């Protein structure tokens, strides 16, 4: 029994000593944290290479200086890490920032860049877009090689927009819903007027007068009924106009969603270009424009030869790419890279080429 009691006392004492030592160490660490100053900054750009860099350590230092955020020779406990993170993350190309101070007084800032799969370089737009649909403006002096989209195409968001593409569609839907709500409110008001004049007309028809004034009343009632009927016709005409406005709003929203889905298809297509070793090296740029029904029409400018590849609409892109590779493997190598002016893939199961007459 005494053996068990002694063993229990030993373990209690041991754990008490461990807890006390832990508390003592944490007190020393906190004291050191208060007294230790930042002696150097260690800035790491995660996944940064010579061809994949949107920011560098020097630019991070400049950003902190511009915002007046103290680091070097500042006590570690007084460094505003929240302000540092907010400043760096305010740039759309930054995905996340991890900040911590080492015991030796080094402030570590680890920056995760977003990984774009395409660059939109059309009129007024200079944006990078990631595979999951995040849009951010191209930073100055950025060095990143990704497939480029040029041409007359304009997306449904502002050139200065940064953020999730899904938020663009959400705001467009919200705007359409607000318009429909306003229209429905107007319709309710018109229906209330129509109901009033229908009840008024019924009251006039159901009214009775003395025989002595019946003739005069008949003439007056006829005028009043025509007046009421005129108001009812106006209400019905206004309701038809309201219905047309509502249909137009919904039709525009449907077109907007179709165009938005087209843009998502463009992103997926550009991602497939970037992943394909041959196409990523061969396709210099993708030219995007809108057809008469606002669908996206694509043309590819290759590095080899002097021809233009008409991809056409974004339907069946996978099959079109297979036909394009077949053209390069079987036709271009025998006929010569300079033989054709255009290579049109926008036909089912065939490639239509025009010769270069020069």
- 333 compared with 62, residue with greater pLDDT: 62
Output the CA angle 150-156-161, nearest 5 degrees. 85
Residue 96 C-beta-side C-alpha neighbours within 13 Å:
3
If pLDDT is split at 50, 70 and 90, which confidence band does 10 have?
A: low
Nearest by Cα to 112 from 98, 129, 133, 101: 98
Residues 6+ apart with CB under 8 A from 128: 54, 93, 114, 116, 118, 119, 120, 135, 136, 137, 138, 144, 146
Tell me: the pLDDT tens digits for 80-138?
A: 889 989 988 888 888 889 988 877 788 898 988 888 889 999 888 999 999 889 999 87
Tell me: the pLDDT tens digits for 147-193?
A: 899 999 999 888 989 999 999 889 988 988 999 899 999 999 999 99
Residue 32 C-beta-side C-alpha neighbours within 13 Å:
11
Distance CA 344, CA 352 (A): 5
Over the chain, what is the mean pLDDT? 82
Burial environment of residue 342 by CB neighbours within 10 A (0 to 12, 13 to 18, 19 or more): middle
Dihedral angle sign, alpha carbons of residues 65, 67, 72, 73: positive
pLDDT at 50 over 60: no
pTM: 0.74
Residues 6+ apart with CB under 8 A from 130: 114, 115, 116, 117
Where do the structural domains in the chain lie, given as residue ranges? 2-113, 167-260
Question: In this structure, what token pair is assigned to residue 320?
Answer: 């079109």
CA diameter of the chain:
126
């Amino acid at each position: 029994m005494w053996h068990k009691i002694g063993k229990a006392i030993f373990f209690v004492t041991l754990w008490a000593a461990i807890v006390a030592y832990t508390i003592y160490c944490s007190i020393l660490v906190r004291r050191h944290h208060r007294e230790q100053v930042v002696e150097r900054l260690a800035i790491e750009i995660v996944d940064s290479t010579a061809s994949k860099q949107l920011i560098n350590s020097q630019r991070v230092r400049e950003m902190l200086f511009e915002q007046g955020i103290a680091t070097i020779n500042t006590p570690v406990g007084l460094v505003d890490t929240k302000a540092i993170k907010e400043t760096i993350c305010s740039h759309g190309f930054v995905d996340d920032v991890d900040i911590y101070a080492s015991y030796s007084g080094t402030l570590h800032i680890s920056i995760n860049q977003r990984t774009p799969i395409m660059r939109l370089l059309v009129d007024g737009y200079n944006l990078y877009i990631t595979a999951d649909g995040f849009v951010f403006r191209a930073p100055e002096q950025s060095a990143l090689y990704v497939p480029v989209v040029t041409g007359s195409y304009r997306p449904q968001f502002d050139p200065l927009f940064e953020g999730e593409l899904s938020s663009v569609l959400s705001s467009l839907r919200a705007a359409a819903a607000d318009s429909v709500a306003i229209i429905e409110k107007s319709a309710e008001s018109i229906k209330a007027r129509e109901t009033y004049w229908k009840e008024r007309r019924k009251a006039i028809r159901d009214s009775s007068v003395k025989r002595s004034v019946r003739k005069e009343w008949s003439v007056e009632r006829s005028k009043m009924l025509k007046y009421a009927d005129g108001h009812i016709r106006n209400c019905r005409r206004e309701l038809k106009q309201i219905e047309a406005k509502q249909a137009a709003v919904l039709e525009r929203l449907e077109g907007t969603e179709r165009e938005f889905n087209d843009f998502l298809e463009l992103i997926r297509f550009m991602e497939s270009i970037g992943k394909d070793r041959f196409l990523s090296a061969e396709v210099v740029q993708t030219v995007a424009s809108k057809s008469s029904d606002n669908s996206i029409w694509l043309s590819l400018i290759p590095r080899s030869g002097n021809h233009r590849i008409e991809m056409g609409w974004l339907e069946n892109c996978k099959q079109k790419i297979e036909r394009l590779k077949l053209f390069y493997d079987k036709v271009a190598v025998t006929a010569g890279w300079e033989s054709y002016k255009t290579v049109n893939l926008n036909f089912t199961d065939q490639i239509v080429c025009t010769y270069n007459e020069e």
